[in-house]
Amino acid sequence: YRSPERAAAYKQFHTSDHSWGRLVTYFEQRAIARELSRYNWSPSDRLLDIPCGTGILGGILHRFPLKVLASDISLQMMALCRGDYPADRFDGCVQADITSTPFPQESFSCVITLGFFHRVPSEIRRKALREIAALSTRVVILTCSVDTAVQRIKQAILTRIKPNHAPAPCPVPLREMIADCRSLGLRLARSYMVVPVLSAHAILVLEKQ
């Protein structure tokens, strides 16, 4: 996603195309807004959206008083995100590797990571989780595509029907993901599928112990 064309196509697929990706994004955003509503946020609270991509999360953050910082390794993706966040509380964009950010530990009340963990191998996934856990003081919300027997069957069928179908390269067993989070001092508050059976995407809401 380090070309303007790829970044624009990604944003279009998730926000304006008549696509399955857009539908899943809608349900995912609705669920994340519901989860954020469970907590009492103040104007002094800070939220980190990492990797922020093209700012797909930005729209729902207008409902909450948090200050927002967006971060991604791709400058091309971030170039498309700035207008989506609440302007009066947006602290800007910072280019960073999610496994080694320049931010001080415990500098955010909430860290949200969407659409990342099922794209990278386990070693990078665990490094990123360790960094996220260190950055948050209260809440971590993340999504990933989970690896289950049902999802493997679904992907096999889709690959036959649509030869150009590209499943998540590194889906994660949910128990493994939860265990990794717990080992870093993150307590699982809630986890559920975004669109049960039809989508492999799961949401995990974690609280700092």
Greater confidence (55 vs 17) lies with: 55
Which pLDDT belongs to residue 162? 80
Give the tens place of pLDDT for each residue, 167-178: 788 999 999 999
- Cis peptide before 121, with omega less than 30 degrees from 0? no
Residue 30 structure tokens: 């609705």
- The whole model's pTM is what? 0.91
8 Å CB contact between 119 and 169 = yes
Partnered with residue 192 across adjacent β-strands are 203
pLDDT band of residue 164 (cuts 50, 70, 90) is: confident
Sketch out the chain's domains with CATH numbers.
4-208 (3.40.50.150)
8 Å CB contact between 65 and 43 = yes
Give the tens place of pLDDT for each residue, 134-152: 999 999 999 999 988 888 8
pLDDT band of residue 79 (cuts 50, 70, 90) is: very high
Greater confidence (163 vs 124) lies with: 124
- Between helix 174-183 and helix 122-135 the angle, nearest 10°, is 40
Which pLDDT belongs to residue 9? 84
Nearest Cα to Cα of residue 66 among 83, 89, 49, 84: 89
Greater confidence (45 vs 10) lies with: 45
DSSP, res 104: P
Which pLDDT belongs to residue 1? 64
Which pLDDT belongs to residue 105? 98
